[in-house]
Amino acid sequence: MSEGEHVLDDLEWRGLIAHSTDIAALRAEMDEKPVKVYVGFDPSAPSLHFGNLLQILTVRRLQDAGHKPYGLVGGATGMIGDPKQAGERRLNTLDTVKEWSANVRSQLERFLAFEGSNAATVVNNYDWTASLSTIEFLRDIGKHFPVNRMLARDVVRSRLDSGISYTEFSYVLLQSMDYLNLYRDFGVTLQTGGSDQWGNLTAGVELIRRVEGARVNAVATPLVTKADGTKFGKTESGTVWLDGTMTSPYAFYQFWLNQDDRDVVQLLKYYSFRSHKEIEDLARRTEQQPHLRAAQRVLAEELTSLVHGVEENERIKAAAAALFGGEGLGGLSTSTLGAALREAGSVKVKRADGLPKVVDLLVASGLCTSRAAARRTIGEGGAYLNNVRVEDPDLVPAESDLVGGTWLVLRRGKKNLAGVEVV
């Protein structure tokens, strides 16, 4: 955000406002005093993912502008599950939800500031839902939800033929009750979320109007899609998680680095805290010198540093330089090297069976299609072991060649890389 710029103008410029209840009223409220804003996350997995990160960073932008954020962990709503377009969600146990709730809380705490006049607060909706009786819930909340409106919701309508349980059907009541409780207890007057949550967001706004006679607001960010209209955020190995044990920091870095030129500028607007001018400069460089991939590198380094730390980002850059730039491998972190090689492609061999010849490793790793092709590659000077050119086709790696006591790095030519993990 540029100095002196209104945060709503910054969000508009970045394309982060897909829907809003009354943007003019929200602007007027923000101009009068800082607002309190919340965003919620159900613990439906052990970790948040890159899509959740967009919501967190949007609230972070509001906090940087002086507003007070509340991060809500859905310990109660996570027991139910928001309806999805096809099929019922699997219900998790209370212990699982509690464990995942703790994970979500710790991840939220990494991205928001918890000091200062607008320090963030993390709450769990299980705290005000667990003791609520069925009668109270039906009388105080359920009576404000016309069934015809609930049936008109897209996700419900799409499930009517195949079937939807009352459990998932009633999810919107629980999420709306969250907004009502946060309004009552803390004075929260703004909720943010993804555009796929717009029905839930506006239901909370309407519940507060009906129960308290108050006007509050909601803002939804767009779904992140690619230039070709396909869904963004999946890799061959699946979802991009914020937990480094589920998506390695190296794989996380590579995910952003490999983004298409057509998508990277919008992703910078969504996820980067670079100024408008810096992003516009990167957009020009992408158009004029796409081979440099300057925007992708900025995006990958900024987000990897944000999610996994500056030191991890530097380790990843060092690994990439060593693997593809021919530098020494000895100083690399074994975990980072292993993640990089697994991402590039690797094969395991058993130490007890003895280390095979490099010729056989080139074939086993998929770098060469046959032993004859491997010998030909070596003869032409195109095979490397740990960045050292292999000249003898009968070379057998020694134990001392194992990087970190575990890995061999094979390369054919400049960019065809594979790892051998000795177990």
Residues 298 and 166 in one domain: no
CB 193 within 8 A of CB 200: yes
Backbone angles phi, psi at 313, to 5 degrees: -60, -40
Structure confidence at residue 265 as a pLDDT band (50, 70, 90): very high
CA distance 171 to 159: 14
Given a contact cutoff of 8 angstroms between Cβ atoms, the answer to whether 271 and 231 are in contact is: no
Residue type, position 347, single letter: V
**pLDDT given for residue 237 in this prediction:** 60
pLDDT tier for residue 320 given thresholds of 50, 70 and 90: confident
Beta strands in 327-415 (DSSP E): 346-349, 383-385, 388-389, 407-412
pLDDT over 90 at 20, yes or no: yes
How confident is the model over 115-128, as pLDDT tens digits? 999 999 999 999 99
12 shares its domain with 95: yes
320 part of a folded domain: no
What integer pLDDT is reported at residue 162 of this predicted model? 72
Note whether residue 314 is domain-resident: no
CA pair distance 168, 91, nearest whole angstrom: 10
- 100 falls within a domain: yes
Estimate to the nearest angstrom the gap between the alpha carbon of 101 and the chain centroid: 17
Distance CA 357, CA 353 (A): 12
In angstroms, rounded to a whole number, what is the distance separating the alpha carbons of residues 259 and 267? 9
Phi, psi of 127 (to 5 degrees): -65, -35
Boundary-marking domain end, from 258, 280, 308:
308
CATH number of the domain to which 56 belongs: 3.40.50.620
Task: Please state, rounded to an integer, the average pLDDT across all residues of the chain.
Answer: 90
The domain of 338 spans 326-423
CATH code of the domain covering residue 249: 1.10.240.10
What's residue 87's pLDDT? Answer: 63
pLDDT in tens, 31-56: 999 999 999 999 999 999 999 999 99
pLDDT of residue 358: 94
Residue 331 within a domain: yes
Residues 151 and 281 in one domain: no
Encoding tokens for residue 157?
Answer: 């309508």
Which CATH number does the domain housing residue 422 bear? Answer: 3.10.290.10
> Do both 116 and 178 map to the same domain?
yes
Q: What is the pLDDT of residue 415?
A: 81
pLDDT tens figures, 386-411: 989 999 989 999 999 998 889 999 99
The verdict on 261 and 123 lying in the same domain is no
Q: Which helix (H) or strand (E) holds 110?
A: helix 94-111
Strands (E), 362-406: 383-385, 388-389
- Whether 277 maps to a domain, the answer reads yes
Residue 230 has pLDDT above 70, yes or no: yes
pLDDT of residue 29: 96
Q: What angle do CA 162, 163, 165 make, to 5 degrees?
A: 155
For the cut 60, the answer to whether the pLDDT of residue 67 exceeds it is yes
Same domain, 369 and 399: yes
Number of structural domains, the chain? 3
Q: Is residue 230 located within the same domain as residue 201?
A: no
**Alpha-carbon distances of 334 from 291, 337, 348, 364, rounded to whole Å:** 30, 5, 16, 22
Pair (229, 291) in one structural domain: yes
pLDDT tier, 2 (very low <50, low <70, confident <90, very high otherwise): low
Of 252, 281, 308, the domain-final residue: 308
Q: Are residues 334 and 215 in the same domain?
A: no
The CA angle 326-329-331, to the nearest 5 degrees, is 135
Residue 236 has pLDDT above 60, yes or no: no
Same domain flag for 155 and 280: no
Say if residues 204 and 179 touch (Cβ distance below 8 Å).
yes
**C-alpha to C-alpha distance for 409 and 344, rounded to whole angstroms:** 11
Predicted local confidence at residue 327, as pLDDT:
65
Higher pLDDT, 68 or 171: 68
Q: Give yes or no for a contact between 359 and 378, defined as CB atoms under 8 angstroms apart.
A: yes
User: Which residue did the predictor score with more confidence, 279 or 351?
Assistant: 279
What percent of the chain is helix, strand and coil (3-state, nearest 5)?
A: 50, 15, 35
CB atoms within 10 A of CB 395: 16
| Structure tokens, 37 | 């804003």
Burial of 93 (0-12, 13-18, 19+ CB in 10 A): exposed
Which two tokens mark 276? 């408008």
Q: What is the mean pLDDT of residues 99-107?
A: 95
pLDDT in tens, 70-83: 999 999 998 887 76
Regarding whether 150 and 13 lie in a shared domain, the answer is yes
Predicted local distance difference test score (pLDDT) of residue 1: 65
Q: What are the distances in angstroms from CA 339 to CA 63, 166, 238, 297, 419?
A: 34, 44, 16, 19, 10
Which pLDDT belongs to residue 88?
66
* Position 35, amino acid: V
377 and 248 within one domain: no
Confidence class for position 272, pLDDT limits 50, 70, 90? very high
Which of 223, 252, 273 is a domain's end point?
A: 223
Percent of the chain with pLDDT over 70: 95
- Which pLDDT value is given to residue 285? 96
pLDDT in tens, 173-221: 999 999 999 999 999 999 999 998 898 999 999 999 999 999 999 999 9
Instruction: For residue 177, count other CB atoms closer than 10 A to its CB.
Output: 25
